[in-house]
Chains A and B, each alone.
Chain A
């Protein structure tokens, strides 16, 4: 079983749909992250959680809503998305906040139609 697991791997949704991305880490880490990766662009940090508390919201539109019920699980709730939100969404975790290496899941490829 991989350290960081994301589901689903692929998601196609309409602009009026509501869906959620799930991330689970089995590494005993305290910090979890959501990143967005669009074609030919650097990884963009979206949210950071440390011990279940949100410590960073990188000016992300409110149509993206994170939830961290415990240190092992992270969700990204999606509603009324736009086609430009289509991207690879990556979850990561690290032992501590950012000064230790982060480990990534395989990502969710999201397509908004």
Chain B
């Protein structure tokens, strides 16, 4: 069964303390992996798309990497404004249809 699991569920960091978020997946035929950021009460905001193992994408303090089994979102020297829930999602394609499957998210809190 196709599955997406994120860890940890919650992560508390001090400002400037770098860390990584994990997204593990099992899927028959990877067609891409998406990272989103979601602030409370708002819709998810698209961050990155990764399509193949070994691919990396960067945006400001965030870097996303992809292997055959998991993706990491590395946060370098985070600031309080990076506090949000980070979601990963995989597309599932099947006969006549398709959908995005989301992980449960990692709630990141960065304290000054």
- What is the distance, in angstroms, from B2's C-beta to the closest C-beta of chain A? 12
Known contacts: A45-B99, A48-B99. The answer to whether A101 contacts B43 by CB under 8 A is: no
Contacts of B42 in A (CB 8 A): 106-107
Tell me if A55 and B97 are in contact (CB < 8 A).
yes
Contact B93 A98 (CB under 8 A): yes
Answer whether A90 and B102 are a contact pair too, CB < 8 Å, given A55-B96, A97-B97, A98-B93: no
- A45-68 to B contact mask, C-beta < 8 Å, 1/0: 100101000011010000000000
A99 is contacted by which of B31, B36, B44, B105 (Cβ under 8 Å)? B31
**A101-B49, A104-B44 in contact; A42/B99 too (CB < 8 A)?**
no
Proximity string of chain B (11-41) to chain A, C-beta cutoff 8 Å, 1 when within and 0 when not = 0000000000000000000011010100001
Could you tell me if A45 and B100 are in contact, using CB atoms closer than 8 angstroms?
yes
Can you name 27 A-B pairs with beta carbons within 8 Å?
A4-B43, A6-B43, A41-B104, A42-B104, A42-B105, A43-B44, A43-B87, A45-B101, A55-B97, A56-B99, A92-B43, A97-B98, A98-B31, A98-B92, A98-B98, A99-B31, A99-B32, A99-B91, A99-B93, A99-B98, A101-B32, A101-B49, A102-B34, A106-B43, A107-B41, A107-B42, A109-B41
For B45, list chain A residues within 8 Å (CB).
Answer: 104
Q: Which residues of B contact A (CB under 8 A)?
A: 31-32, 34, 36, 41-46, 49, 87, 89, 91-93, 96-105
Asked if B102 contacts A43 (CB within 8 A), the reply is yes
Q: A56-B97, A90-B43 are in contact. List 18 more A-B contacts (CB 8 A).
A: A31-B98, A45-B101, A50-B97, A55-B97, A55-B98, A56-B99, A88-B41, A97-B97, A98-B31, A98-B93, A98-B99, A99-B91, A99-B98, A100-B32, A102-B89, A105-B43, A106-B42, A107-B42
Interface residue A103 (Cβ < 8 Å from any Cβ of B): yes
Q: What is the predominant secondary structure among interface residues of chain A facing chain B?
A: strand
